[in-house]
């Protein structure tokens, strides 16, 4: 496994599939693989996932921004999801062999190009934020496209790159490095969703549990089972085994067991190496112990 | 992760490093990566490990055989390790995306070429054996180079490929597909090696334990600790977690705990996915859930 990063730009178009197709079409190039496109008509938004070699991914991200700015006019945009730009947010995510600092360098490089060449104001967010109030997307996005015409005049909201005024049709954009998000669910052997909700409350960051974990209890109609549905925002600091064992422990107080767990989408190999390392008491186990990794090292 | 196989030819030269270097030198090509060369002067034998794309690995294996047959004269060979040929054994090992049947096809292809082009008798062994008595290497190798001049006249020992007589200087060779071997050790929190030996006896195939597991108890001088040292010959049928939990359980009867475990060399990613799948109760977890795999799929 060579250096790999993922990029997940969100664009403010989820209804016109031809337009989405045109924008997605600019990604294709050596070293980059398109993994997923999800368009939501209600949100009027598309989430595009691609990954590969860092510089090639960065170049593709800029081209997506350029195509979105050309094709999408926010003055005519409606949708359920909050948004402030034609290309609304561009996160760079380390997958393997790449540090967060390297992803921030790419975010800055792409942000500068978007500002200079597309004349769209750019806010560095998440791990790349230069001030604390720009770490969280909802804080930046407050006011949305419409409100940014005036919000950007506030000295506190001067952009990190690009002009100090909202692009007339493309608004502005948040660009930054963030951790890989793992969507991980655990099914309980009960149909009582209140138990799943109580477990979720006890294990999530927002109410006294593990940092970097979001959790809620839901009821699975088809399986007639309660589930603890989670996002793990940093699998390095808060590994899967710790989340799993804590859910199991909290479930135990209700006399409830675990039926099975579920991964939604993909995860980096190291997330599972950390699991094996814990349970096998095998210190320092990493992807460098894999035959596949050794073969792909250049 | 594309299709990857490993090949580990053993050649009967472990003293003349220039000669070993010449033979190893023929491996280099696109799609193949040399992972390791271990020469043992006492055994007068070298173990060469390389891996990569199946056909490229097969071609490299033939070239190693050709170079070894040209360079090594068994009539002058002495060494502690039993051997029957200049290139003694050529195993093909599935690592990812490849079945055992595909590895057998490659073994047959390379075996046929060695027979036809190098005039060396070839025995298909391990998973590729066509008769049960050719599955195990020691059975084939019995008599060694010297004995093969007459052993090969026995109708039961007609080769699968090549001439029905021993090559005058290069002897004969075993070629076949086998499983990846994982070397896995578990350190106990005791210095009493007799406990490690008793655990080893209870968990290994040869004395009533898990199939495909070889185990022995050893004493680690530097750490003053007893260790259960194991080879897992098929991590698919006999996964790491089962071995680990069984050692832990058997250690418990002596009031002994596990300090840590250790992987010697490399292992395929799926071996650890199976561990995570068990402990996280995540059914069917495989390398196809990895971002790295999705990116490398062609």
Closest by CA to A56, choosing from A13, A98, A12, is: A98
Q: B185, B193 in Cβ contact below 8 A?
A: no
Q: Is the Cβ pair A266, B260 closer than 8 Å?
A: no
Interior angle at CA A241, CA A238 and CA A243, nearest 5: 60
Is A294 within 8 Å of B33 when comparing Cβ atoms?
A: yes
Nearest-by-CA chain B residue for A270? B290
Please state the φ and ψ torsions of residue A139, each to the nearest 5 degrees.
-65, -45
Residue in B266, B272, B295 closest to A4 by CB: B295
Q: Say yes or no for a CB contact (<8 Å) between A276 and B280.
A: no
**CB proximity list for A284: less than 8 A, separation 6 or greater:** A277
* B281/A261 touch (CB, cutoff 8 Å), yes or no: yes
CB contact under 8 A, B290 and A281: no
| CA-angle at A35, arms to A33 and A41, nearest 5° | 135
- The reply to whether residue B280 touches residue A6, judged by beta carbons under 8 angstroms, is no
Measured between CB atoms, does A256 come within 8 Å of chain B?
Answer: no
Which residue of A lies nearest to B31 if distances are taken between CA atoms? Answer: A295
Task: State the nearest Cα–Cα gap between B242 and chain A, in angstroms.
Answer: 10
Residue B169 backbone dihedrals phi, psi, to 5 degrees: -115, -20
Report pLDDT for A205: 95
Share of chain B above pLDDT 90, in %: 92
pLDDT at A265: 86
From chain A, the residues in CB contact with B260 under 8 A are 281-283
Contacts of A95 in chain B (CB under 8 A): 291-292, 295
Choose among B183, B157, B185, B184: nearest CA to B171: B157
**Residue B128 tokens, joined:** 């590729």
Whether B101 has a pLDDT exceeding 80, the answer reads: yes
Cβ of B280 under 8 Å from any chain A Cβ?
yes
Distance (Å, whole) CA B102 – CA B100: 5
pLDDT value of position A297? 67
CA separation for the pair A108, A126 (Å, rounded): 12
Q: What per-residue confidence (pLDDT) applies to B298?
A: 47
CB contact (8 A) between residue A258 and residue B279: no
In angstroms, the CA A224 to CA A169 distance is 47
Burial B216-238 (b: 16+ CB within 10 A, else e): ebeebeeeebbbbbbbbbbbeeb
Backbone conformation region of residue B143, classed left if phi is above 0, alpha if psi is from -120 to 50, else beta: left
Q: Which residues of A touch B95 (CB under 8 A)?
A: 291-292, 295
Of B77, B81, B119, B167, which one is the catalytic site residue?
A: B81
DSSP for B154-185, please give it.
SGGG--SBS-SS-BTTTB-EEEEE-PPPEEEE
pLDDT, position A298: 47
**pLDDT tens figures, B25-63:** 999 999 999 999 999 999 999 999 999 999 999 999 999
Contact B273/A at CB under 8 A: yes
Whole-prediction pTM: 0.85
Question: How far apart are alpha carbons B27 and B250 in whole angstroms?
Answer: 45
Query: Are B290 and A269 within 8 A, CB to CB?
Result: yes
Q: Is B256 on the interface with A (CB under 8 A)?
A: no
Instruction: Give every residue of chain A whose pLDDT is below 70, as ranges.
Output: 1, 297-298
Q: Which domains occur in chain A, in start order?
A: 4-177 (3.30.990.10), 182-267 (3.30.70.670)
B258 to chain A, minimum CA–CA distance in Å?
8
Q: For chain B, say whether A291 makes contact (Cβ under 8 Å).
A: yes
Interface touch B276/A240, C-beta < 8 Å: yes
Stretch (H or E) spanning A203: helix A193-203
Nearest CA in chain A to B52: A295
Task: Select from B247, B290, B294 the residue whose CB has the most chain A CBs within 10 Å, as the one to mutate to test that interface.
Answer: B290
A260 reaches B (C-beta below 8 A): yes
Q: What are the residue numbers of the active site of A?
A: 81
Residues B190-241 pLDDT 10s: 999 999 999 999 999 999 999 999 999 999 999 999 999 999 999 999 999 9
Give the distance from residue B289's alpha carbon to the nearest chain A alpha carbon, in angstroms.
5
Nearest Cβ partner for A240 among B4, B280, B290: B280
Going by the DSSP 8-state scheme, the letter that residue B262 receives in this structure is E
**Substitution target from A282, A288, A297, A298 for chain B, most B beta carbons within 10 A:** A282
In chain B, % helix, strand, coil (3-state, to 5) comes to 40, 25, 35
- Tell whether A1 lies on the interface with B, counting CB pairs under 8 A: yes
Q: What local confidence, expressed as pLDDT, does residue B297 receive?
A: 67
The two three-digit tokens of residue B49, written as one number: 């490990």
Indicate if the pLDDT at residue B121 is higher than 60.
yes
Percentage of the residues of chain B whose pLDDT score is greater than 70 = 99
A254 at B interface, C-beta within 8 A: no
| pLDDT attached to residue B111 | 98
* pLDDT more than 70, % of chain A: 99
For A179, the token pair is 């951790």
CB–CB of A295 and B4 under 8 A? yes
B278, containing H or E segment: helix B269-279
**Interface touch B282/A260, C-beta < 8 Å:** yes
**How much is the pLDDT for B285?**
97
For A198, counting Cβ atoms within 10 Å of its Cβ (0-12 exposed, 13-18 middle, 19+ buried), the class is middle
Is A262's Cβ below 8 Å from some Cβ in B? yes
Sequence-distant (6+) residues with CB within 8 A of B98 are B3, B4, B5, B54
- Least CB-CB distance to A33: which of B267, B275, B295? B295
Report d(CA B45, CA A102) in Å as an integer.
45
By residue count, chain A amounts to 298
ipTM: 0.84
């Amino acid at each position: 496994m060579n250096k790999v990063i993922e990029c997940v730009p969100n664009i403010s178009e989820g209804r016109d599939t031809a337009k989405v197709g045109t924008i997605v079409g600019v990604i294709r190039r050596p070293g980059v693989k398109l993994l997923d496109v999800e368009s939501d008509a209600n949100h009027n938004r598309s989430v595009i996932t691609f990954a590969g070699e860092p510089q090639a991914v960065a170049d593709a991200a800029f081209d997506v921004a350029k195509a979105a700015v050309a094709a999408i006019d926010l003055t005519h945009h409606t949708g359920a999801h909050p948004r402030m730009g034609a290309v609304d947010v561009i996160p760079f995510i380390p997958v393997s062999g790449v540090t967060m600092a390297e992803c921030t360098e790419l975010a800055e490089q792409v942000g500068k190009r978007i500002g200079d060449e597309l004349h769209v104001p750019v806010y560095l967010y998440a791990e790349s934020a230069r001030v604390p109030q720009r770490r969280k997307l909802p804080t930046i996005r407050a006011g949305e496209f419409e409100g940014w015409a005036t919000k950007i005049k506030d000295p506190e909201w001067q952009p990190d790159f690009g002009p100090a005024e909202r692009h007339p049709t493309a608004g502005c954009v948040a660009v930054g490095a963030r951790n890989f998000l793992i969507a991980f669910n655990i099914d309980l052997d009960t149909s009582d969703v209140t138990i799943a909700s109580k477990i979720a409350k006890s294990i999530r960051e927002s109410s006294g549990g593990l940092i970097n974990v979001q959790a809620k209890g839901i009821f699975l109609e088809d399986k007639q089972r309660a589930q603890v549905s989670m996002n793990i925002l940093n699998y390095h600091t808060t590994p899967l085994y710790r989340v799993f064992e804590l859910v199991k422990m909290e479930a135990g107080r209700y006399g409830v067991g675990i039926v099975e767990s579920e991964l939604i989408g993909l995860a980096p190999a190291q997330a599972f190496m950390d699991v094996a390392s814990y349970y096998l008491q095998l210190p320092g186990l990493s992807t460098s112990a894999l035959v596949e990794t050794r073969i792909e090292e250049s």
